[in-house]
Amino acid sequence: MRIVAVADLHCDEKRRPRVAAIARAVRAAEADVLVIAGDCGDGVEQAGEALALFEGVGGTRLMVPGNHDLWQDATPFETRRIYEEAIPAVAAEHGFHCLDRGPVIVGETAFVGAMGWYDYEMRQREAPEGDLTVTPINVSLREGGKMGFSAVPGAAETGWEGLGPEEYAANGLVWQADDDPPQVAVWSDPLHLDWEQPAAEVAAAMAQHIRAQIGEVAGRCSRVVGVTHFVPFAELADYHLQSPRHAYAKAFLGSPLLGEALLEAEGLELVIYGHRHRQEVREVRGVVTADAAVTGGDDMPLLLTLTG
Ligand SMILES: [Fe+2]
Ligand SMILES: [Fe+2]
């Protein structure tokens, strides 16, 4: 079975010609299955425009959304409705099955998956560079779409090692190195979406959802392929970043709960994911993992062949 995979298309007006070229390469690959592992665009409308570029691609077309696909410009955020209804509907409109709605079996191979979420477990524990003091800061959306900052009650200046799940949940960080002016890093999801539930709970529910799909396909296939948008194994986040801004963003990479759930599938051979914007194929715990990102200038679709 030949699978062609892409992730993180981020199709806006500027990237549209690039995504169209990627779609042409996908069409030329003539694979049995196309997998898009999330972040087609910002919001449902852009996601639909991206999916439309894959018209005419033969075989089975599967997708999971990414965080960006759920983004909205204005409140009230209807994140759950967008995730459960709007995204699967726009996928179906363009001939894609949204895996979050349920597994798909192609021949002897079952495809299970869901977008996933982050729980800050992949945060960078070691300080990015030198002596840094950091302060978590609450980031929220103010009237007129402006970003608002407010102090986190009880939060004090700390070293990098003082950053835990609670601090990351504030979604912003201020730091000052040496005599440089203070800098701020923001994780933008809360400005565009709201699960009305802590992130870790969303990640755990996604893992549970994948587990249920695995139960559904058990005994009906000889091999399983998992698909997530968020990073499913801590091993895939084991690089060290020097820039505080980038190191901060690592907390939002994904959740090891996703990988744990996937590993329960008998015959799991391949896991396709995205969100890191770093294309890479690597074996983790006996499973081939593929970050199918096509965000880099030279990135082309991944062609993955399962044999036997
Ligand atoms: Fe992305
Ligand atoms: Fe993403």
Find the 209 Cα to ligand 2 centroid distance in Å: 19
Task: Give the predicted TM-score (pTM) of the model.
Answer: 0.97
As a whole number, mean pLDDT of residues 198-204 equals 98
pLDDT computed for residue 2 by the predictor: 98
CA of 114 from ligand 2 middle (Å) equals 13
The model's confidence at residue 142, banded by pLDDT at 50, 70 and 90, is confident
182 neighbors 174 (Cβ within 8 angstroms): yes
| pLDDT value of residue 208 | 98
Which of the residue ranges 56-60, 73-77, 81-85, 279-283 would you say has the lowest mean pLDDT? 73-77
pLDDT of residue 151: 87
Distance 41 CA to ligand 2 centre (A): 10
Looking at the predicted structure, is the pLDDT value of residue 136 above 90?
A: yes
Residues above pLDDT 90, as percent of the chain: 88
Would you say residue 148 has pLDDT above 90? no
The strands making up 109-113's β-sheet, listed across from edge to edge, are 104-106, 109-113, 223-227, 268-273, 287-291, 280-284
Q: Is the pLDDT of residue 179 over 80?
A: no
pLDDT at 308 over 80: no
Q: How far is the CA of 273 from the centre of ligand 2 (A)?
A: 10
Average pLDDT of the chain is 95
Give the Å distance between the CA of 219 and the centre of ligand 2.
Answer: 32
Ligand 1: centre distance to CA 69 (Å): 9
Q: Near ion ligand 2, which residues have CB within 5 Å?
A: 39, 66-67, 275
Q: What is the pLDDT of residue 163?
A: 94
How far, in Å, from the CA of 276 to the mean position of ligand 2?
7
Residue 143 has pLDDT above 90, yes or no: no
Q: For the stretch 275-297, what's the b/e string if a residue is b when 16 or more beta carbons lie within 10 angstroms of its beta carbon?
A: bbeebeeeebeebbbbbbbbbee
**Is the separation of the CB atoms in 118 and 234 below 8 Å?**
no
CATH class of domain segment(s) 2-120+194-305: alpha beta
- The residues of the chain that CATH labels 3.60.21.10 are 2-120+194-305
Find the 229 Cα to ligand 2 centroid distance in Å.
7
Q: Tell me: the pLDDT tens digits for 28-80? A: 999 999 999 999 999 999 999 999 999 999 999 999 999 999 999 888 999 99
Report how far ligand 2's centroid is from the alpha carbon of 220 (Å): 31
Residue 153: its pLDDT value, please?
86
Alpha helices in 57-131 (DSSP H): 79-81, 87-93
Q: What is the pLDDT of residues 92-126, one digit of tens each?
A: 999 999 999 999 999 999 999 999 999 999 999 99
